[in-house]
Structure 1
Amino acid sequence: MELHDVWFVLIAVLWIGYFFLEGFDFGIGVLTKLLARDRKERRVLINTIGPVWDGNEVWLLSAGGATFAAFPEWYATLFSGFYLPLLLILVCLIVRGVAFEYRAKRPEENWQRNWENAIFWTSLIPAVLWGVAFGNIVRGVKIDAQMEYVGSVADLLNPYALLGGLVTLALFTFHGTVFAGLKTVGEIRARARKLALVLGPVTAVLALGFLLWTQYGHGDGASLVALIVAVVALVGAIGAVGAGREGWSFMLSGVTIVAAVAMLFLTLFPNVMPSSLNEAWNLTVTNASSTPYTLKIMTWCAAIATPLVMLYQGWTYWVFRKRIGTQHIADA
């Protein structure tokens, strides 16, 4: 296996890790409106991700940095062609981080409500836009012979990509609902379980439609295996919720995300960004990659740094593993 193939796999792993972790993170943000009934319950939900949300975003930074260094042509075309949606995602992530930090800085109800509204919208919008972005990457976009995107923002709003956005929103919200049931106690935990049983079938229908569409248009044997794993895991997650097994449900909803994102990357390879104008203009792991020397240096750096980051993040989740409820929240 060539180093550019290795780095395609590593970037896929980074995106899988990001969607697995930030998926329930975004889901919790959406649930501040769907699940919580008052300020105290919203604080419970926010506190379930309070110690970890910023660490989850490290995976996005790593994925973006790795793409820039390993596949500069991919990075340049992606960020120029998808400039507006990616800028909107960036703005949402910035405002979201500020909202987490500033929400509790003042006791006034209006102050906290406004920041909680910001958390909701800046969780929902990226959850949709990531699905739209990856849907377009898999489907192919207007790339010319100079490896430049020549389409418009309107070209990105096609039915396949929009369905991808609905799938990521539904899947992340379901993942967050399961996480809320895993991390809370009392009435909010019971309501999270009921909501998961409602969201689960809706998510399954949307995900099945999108993955079948992907398989029909771009898939092969390997992607079909990933599709089956994703669907079986999602059905298992719904069943585990019904049985009151939050740990198993969270694990299986995570497997769903892992398998679904892996399927998208399997349908891409050896392309990194197909051209809808001419297959000869596709960006591939070969023509979009850095020099072998650059990839070699990056591989050594990643081999040293990645295990340390994963150990630290795993330790963080272990330290903050206990459930919380409204009884743990002091009255404002």
Structure 2
Amino acid sequence: MELTTIWFILIAVLWVGYFCLEGFDYGVGMLLPVLGRDETEGETPHSGETRKRQMLSAIGPFWDGNEVWLLTAGGAIFAAFPHWYATLFSGFYLPLLLILVGLILRGVGLEYRGKVDSPAWRARMDAMVVAGSFVPALLWGVAFTNIVLGVPIDADMEYVGGFWNLLGPVALLGGLTTLTLFLTHGALFVALKTDGRLRHDARALALRLGAASAVLAVLWLGVVHLRTGTTASWVVAGVAAASLVGGLLAAARGREGWAFTGTFVAIAMATTSLFLALFPDVMPSSLDPAWSLTAENASSSQKTLGIMTVVALVFTPIMLLYTAWSYWAFRKRVSGHHIPTEVHHAAVVDGGERAGAER
């Protein structure tokens, strides 16, 4: 197998990891005002603030580590396929800038939410988390739909379209699909990682969101693969659809672990199907197929790819082992009774909330 193909596969794996792991972070962030409302039912009702802190504590050990997958994917594209990187970041400059701003707002909101003991302060930080989760969840679907279907690229490997060229109906459908998929993924993560009424509310919401995401996903993947799909991409897209349906059936039976696994596999297979439909191109040209960027004409030298391959063989297993260990170490549920009802001094450490209560 050629090094260009190997690096195309490695980059696909990085994007799969990013969407599967960061996807539930986005979902949890967007659902803060929905699931984080005041609870009045049950024997031990919890305030909306307690529910929000349960949700944020659930993703606290993971969210910043999950973003490393994005940084690594971007760095791999830059090093392995510099022409792809240059055309992508120049042509998609505004959407990528909006995603970056969203990630910054989200990070600030998560890190500084507990720094001031004020409802108004926390409300502002929550708004930043919601907005910073919504924008990337929507725009990544728009971006990848355009990448697979093709954009205006001339003979000099330069993007010659405008921002509005990226907002076609199919691209917006892709954005809505990733948005609802991540919402469903996040709701199931909350159901898996919390207890009490919040767990049941999250599971019920996931079923409603999942029904909408399933319809959108079938339409989106169908349109994309009808235009540029291969036999392999169609098969993998079918596995994605089956996994999503299976996950929703598991959620209906109260099996949150299997339900979350279903959405995880669905996102992984849907992303994989896009890369299968894309290969051997990395950015097809809608003006002339001969002007498309391919894994061959957009790649670095063989020497560069060889050095990168050695580095990847050393550090990729380390990254995977550390990621697996972190999820295993923080595998238990976040219980509402572990969170103090009155907090006068709170701090956010490593993305998770640590409260010191002074009675």
TM range (shorter): over 0.9
Structure 1 runs (4+) deviating above 4 angstroms are none
Q: 2: CA distance between counterparts of 1:144 and 1:131?
A: 24
Match of 1:95 among 98, 105, 115: 105
- Residue of structure 1 equivalent to 2:44: none
Q: Deviations over 1:176-198 (max 9, x none)?
A: 01111100000000001110111
- Residue of structure 2 equivalent to 1:18: 18
Give the aligned residue type for 1:104. Answer: G
- Residue of structure 2 equivalent to 1:32: 32
Give the aligned residue type for 1:23. Answer: G
Q: Deviations over 1:258-302 (max 9, x none)?
A: 110001000100000000000000000000000000000000000
Q: Does 1:256 align with 2:245?
A: no
Match of 2:332 among 319, 322, 331: 322
The offset of 1:171, in angstroms, is 0.3
- Residue of structure 1 equivalent to 2:198: 188
- Residue of structure 2 equivalent to 1:234: 244
SS in structure 2 opposite 1:265?
Answer: helix
Q: 2: CA distance between counterparts of 1:255 and 1:85?
A: 27
- Residue of structure 2 equivalent to 1:292: 302
Give the aligned residue type for 1:318. Answer: W
Q: 1: CA distance between counterparts of 2:277 and 2:318?
A: 31
Q: Deviations over 1:144-172 (max 9, x none)?
A: 00000000001001001100000000000
Q: Deviations over 1:125-156 (max 9, x none)?
A: 11000000001101100100000000000100
* TM-score computed with the length of structure 2 as normaliser: 0.92
Q: 1: CA distance between counterparts of 2:23 and 2:84?
A: 24
SS in structure 2 opposite 1:323?
Answer: coil
Alpha-carbon RMSD:
0.7
Q: Does 1:170 align with 2:180?
A: yes
- Residue of structure 1 equivalent to 2:285: 275
The offset of 1:220, in angstroms, is 1.3
Q: 2: CA distance between counterparts of 1:326 and 1:120?
A: 22
Q: 1: CA distance between counterparts of 2:167 and 2:325?
A: 40
Q: 2: CA distance between counterparts of 1:71 and 1:253?
A: 30
Q: Does 1:113 align with 2:123?
A: yes
Q: 2: CA distance between counterparts of 1:104 and 1:268?
A: 43
| Count of matched residue positions in the alignment of Structure 1 and Structure 2 | 332
Which stretches in structure 1 are left out of the alignment for 5+ residues?
Answer: none
Give the aligned residue type for 2:22. Answer: E
Q: 2: CA distance between counterparts of 1:92 and 1:156?
A: 19
Q: 2: CA distance between counterparts of 1:329 and 1:85?
A: 38
Give the aligned residue type for 2:286. Answer: S
Q: Does 1:60 align with 2:83?
A: no
The offset of 1:315, in angstroms, is 1.1
Q: Which runs of structure 2 are paired with 1:128-143 in the superposition (5 Å)?
A: 128-143=138-153
The offset of 1:325, in angstroms, is 2.6
Q: Does 1:144 align with 2:150?
A: no
Give the aligned residue type for 2:296. Answer: T
Give the aligned residue type for 1:3. Answer: L
Give the aligned residue type for 1:10. Answer: L
SS in structure 1 opposite 2:31?
Answer: helix
Q: 2: CA distance between counterparts of 1:211 and 1:59?
A: 24
Q: 1: CA distance between counterparts of 2:195 and 2:12?
A: 35
Q: 2: CA distance between counterparts of 1:267 and 1:19?
A: 18
Q: 1: CA distance between counterparts of 2:263 and 2:174?
A: 17
Give the aligned residue type for 1:87. Answer: L
The offset of 1:318, in angstroms, is 1.2
Q: 2: CA distance between counterparts of 1:98 and 1:131?
A: 24
With 146-155 and 317-326 compared, the bigger mean Cα shift is at: 317-326
Give the aligned residue type for 1:169. Answer: L
The offset of 1:105, in angstroms, is 0.4
SS in structure 2 opposite 1:80?
Answer: helix
The offset of 1:36, in angstroms, is 1.5
The offset of 1:238, in angstroms, is 0.5
Q: 2: CA distance between counterparts of 1:112 and 1:4?
A: 47
- Residue of structure 1 equivalent to 2:45: none
Give the aligned residue type for 2:127. Answer: N
Which stretches in structure 2 are left out of the alignment for 5+ residues?
Answer: 38-47, 344-359
Q: Does 1:4 align with 2:4?
A: yes
Q: 2: CA distance between counterparts of 1:41 and 1:325?
A: 10
Q: 2: CA distance between counterparts of 1:313 and 1:12?
A: 18
